Amino acid sequence: MNKYLDLSQEVSTAKALGLPIVALESTIISHGMPYPKNVETALRVEQAIRDAGAIPATIAVIGGRLKAGLSPEEIEYLGKAGQRVTKASRRDLPVLVAAGADGATTVATTMLIAHMAGIQVFATGGIGGVHRGAETTMDISADLEELAQTPVMVVCAGAKSILDLGLTLEYLETKGVPVIGYGTDELPAFYTRRSGFGVDYEIDSPEDLAAVFRAQRELDYKGGMLVTNPIPEQYAMDKAVIDAAIEQALREASEQGVKGKAVTPFLLARVVELTGGDSLEANIQLVLNNARLAARTAVQLGL
């Protein structure tokens, strides 16, 4: 095991007993939601995974240690600290480790640490991707590169709808990452169930998801797999409403000169404000939905 990696007692015991484990990111705690809703949601998501028969492993960097599995007190700490905690992508880990600092892990970094810990399945809200205007800015999330090189299944509600979804799919195709629609032939768009863009394959059961991922591992593929799971119908938002909020948030980000890793937290927070909080509730429900599917799939992988 990597010398900088610590497993919680629950995760360590699960590994020793061969129990299914699901990784969770921590950026959603520090940068994705306001306190105390972020802490409440993180604990609800962990419980949803336990209820579905698996063990949760929320991942973060605390005091320069890579953590797979957090205590409720550590989750509370990240939730209260909020954006004072570094939003940690792959490039940030050496500095945070050397400095003994804290970091909330993005999709990319959570995949990396999950793989170090031997965890095969990871549930999140939505992945990063190719940002709108990337043909001039070259703003492409490290999440896509991590999917191309790290053998972890990522269960999400599609790419965040603030992105250029068509270019995101093209990039994943170039990198050889399978994009699976769970019960859908169309890429979900985070807050909405449909985007107008097709996925590579539609799969309708956790058993079949596990079988395909197992085959990918046995073929010795280098990268991961993206499973896109639509937000439950009753929590999906009206496409016109969410698109209008996103367009306004994008204009404001440009006018205010928001760049780099600050873009996504700014846009998501502004969309929450513009939708009167509706997008926050949608975000919570889609994460819970993804956690349940990831747990059921992890159970099947262990059979």
Give the number of residues written for the chain: 303
Measured distance CA(235)–CA(275) in Å, rounded: 13
- Alpha carbon separation from 116 to 109, 152, 192 (Å, rounded): 11, 11, 33
Catalytic residue among 10, 25, 74, 146: 25
Nearest in space to 235 (alpha carbons), one of 275, 294, 196, 208: 275
261 belongs to the catalytic site: no
| Crossing angle of the two packed helices 263-274 and 278-301, in degrees rounded to 10 | 120
Q: What angle do CA 35, 157, 159 make, to 5 degrees?
A: 95
Measured distance CA(229)–CA(219) in Å, rounded: 25
* pLDDT per residue as tens digits for the range 76-125: 999 999 999 999 999 999 999 999 999 999 999 999 999 999 999 999 99
Measured distance CA(202)–CA(82) in Å, rounded: 37
295 or 33: whose pLDDT is higher?
Answer: 295
CB 203 within 8 Å of CB 214: no
Q: What is the mean pLDDT of residues 152-156?
A: 98
CB 208 within 8 Å of CB 195: no
3-state helix, strand, coil in the chain (%, to 5): 50, 20, 30
Measured distance CA(303)–CA(108) in Å, rounded: 27
Measured distance CA(268)–CA(283) in Å, rounded: 10
Catalytic residue among 15, 67, 87, 160: 160
Asked whether residue 240 carries a pLDDT value surpassing 90, the answer given is no
DSSP 30: I
Q: Full-prediction pTM beyond 0.75?
A: yes
Nearest in space to 111 (alpha carbons), one of 251, 204, 225: 225
- The per-residue pLDDT for 264 is 75
25 belongs to the catalytic site: yes
Q: Dihedral of the CA atoms 70, 71, 72, 78 (nearest 10)? A: -50
Is CATH 3.40.1790.10 the classification given to domain 5-301?
A: yes
Minimum mean pLDDT range among 95-109, 121-135, 194-208:
121-135
Q: What angle do CA 148, 149, 155 make, to 5 degrees?
A: 60
